[in-house]
Structure 1
Amino acid sequence: MTPTAGEGILSRTATVVYWFLVVEALVLLTTAPALAAVVFLAGGRGNAPLIGLCFVPVAPALSAAVFAWRVFLTERDLSPAEHFRRGYRLNWRDVLHWWVPTLAVLTLIGFTLANLDLAGVPAGYGVVLLLVGAAVLLWAALALVLSSTLSLRTRDLVRLAAFYLGARPAVTFGVLSLLVAAAGIVVLTSDWVLVLLASPAALLLLRTTEPVLRDAAERFTA
């Protein structure tokens, strides 16, 4: 039998803290080896492809976190590790189907931005690339949540994530706000601080995109 949380305020608070800690620990466990390699590769302009490869495990880990938080919002039990493992097992393959090509695009954009001075192109070209990169990240955020909570074919997922970018502007703006906040954390503190906030970030992303999930479940799933 799965243990459940108590009804008191202290019990509910302790349950939330416990979930945050366990989900964060599991995200770190499933991504730390790859992210640690970034430390040794950072600084070299030619290392962009290798750095991109290091981020391959990130989306499956965040997907498992979103899956676990989805359960938490409905059941509030005391088994976050079990739900994280189940989410990872169910979703990692589907997530990688779209995440790997998305990561390749983001890596190419990052590599180009890092070498704009060598390419000798106008500064406006860099602005265009930043906008394209932001759009790709917005799409990826919606794709992450959809593929974490619904069973969809990759081609359907690609279309739905793009569709909801325009169909739900409030959600898109909310996700954009989260991305801006994440960028601010990296600029003002460190990218490792952002890594340590992966668990609450996954929950915030899930809550922000809840209207999209409800609509997609009602309209496009049996």
Structure 2
Amino acid sequence: MQKRKEFGDGLLFRLTNYIYCLLMTNIYFVLSNMIFLFFFMTLKPSFSNITIYFLALTLTGPSISALLYSIGKLIREKELSPLKDFFHGYKINFKDTMKFWLPLLLVLYILFVDLQYFNANPSTINNVLSAVFLIGIILMIILSMYAFLINAGFKFRLKDIWKLSIYYSFKKVKITFGNLGIVIISMFLTSIISDVLIVCIPSLVCYLFMLNSKEIMEDIKVNFCQPQKIQVNQKI
């Protein structure tokens, strides 16, 4: 005789629970990025404001790690305490995230400024240099995606985070392009629909990103963490 399903086992309950968790973590992510969003929504889109944008992004790194930590737990355990887990992930990842986030912001700032300079002064050599800096920006974005992913799930030294980011960027090309595609499509939709979309989809984008990267997380556990010495940032 088939056992009766307990409350919480039904598809509808699981679906509503996922929607609730994604919605609440999205709200906490937005609240933790109010400084950047204020300038993003109020300033006129102009390259002259790039310094303000980058300064406003200073605290965005830890909130990205917190979002990845929360969504990772939701996928892994099928449940989440949005308020508790988001800010727990923010707290335990804050220091390690800032170690790579601040240098990353500085490098991206320099690359964007140089790219704008060469685009504003067209010539054969400047066009070539523009392409080089554009490729550099794309590579840094790819590496940063893996850095956030690894940092949110594991406790590695900074240099090991970057080594693993480079390693998986080239080893898992399909996943790399999938994650990059998620980011590009999200930015494209935001640009053609409304800037307001940027506050509505972070948790959904993160969910797709984590699902696409699930194979990498498992690969890291198997190949780079000794069972007795695994240091996973899942301190519940």
In the superposition, the TM-score normalised over structure 2's length comes to 0.84
Kept in 2, the 8 Å contact 1:34–1:54? The answer is yes
Of the candidates 185, 188, 193, which is equivalent to residue 189 of structure 1? 193
Task: Report if the CA contact (8 A) 2:111-2:137 is conserved.
Answer: yes
Q: Which has the higher helix share?
A: 1
The answer to whether 1:158 aligns with 2:174 is no
Identity of aligned residues (%): 22
Is the CA contact (8 Å cut-off) linking 2:36 and 2:53 kept in structure 1? Answer: no
**Residue of structure 2 equivalent to 1:217:** 221
Deviation, 1:93, is 1.1
Distance across 1 between alignment mates of 2:132 and 2:61: 25
Opposite residue 162 of structure 1, the aligned amino acid is: I
Correspondence for 2:132: 128
Q: Is the 8 A contact 1:41 1:50 kept in 2?
A: no
Distance in 2 (alpha carbons) for counterparts of 1:132 and 1:187: 23
Total equivalences in the alignment: 219
Name the structure 1 match of 2:30.
28
1:139 and 2:158 are equivalent in the alignment: no
Task: Kindly provide the CA deviation profile for residues 37-85 of structure 1, in whole angstroms up to 9, marking residues without a partner as x.
Answer: 2345544544322311111222211211111111112322351221111
Change in Cα spacing, 1:78 to 1:173, as seen in structure 2 (3 Å) is closer
Counterparts of 1:1-222 in structure 2 under 5 Å?
6-121=8-123, 122-222=126-226
Distance, in Å, in 2 between the alignment partners of 1:42 and 1:102 is 25
Does the C-alpha gap of structure 1 residues 190 and 135 become closer, same or farther in structure 2, counting only changes over 3 Å?
farther
Q: Distance in 2 between matches of 1:150 and 1:128?
A: 32
CA distance in 2, matches of 1:51, 1:145: 23
Give the conservation status (yes or no) of the 8 Å contact 1:59–1:95: yes
Which structure: larger Rg?
2
**TM-score, normalising length: structure 1:** 0.89
CA distance in 1, matches of 2:8, 2:222: 32
The RMSD of aligned alpha carbons is 2.1
SS of the aligned residue for 1:77 comes to coil
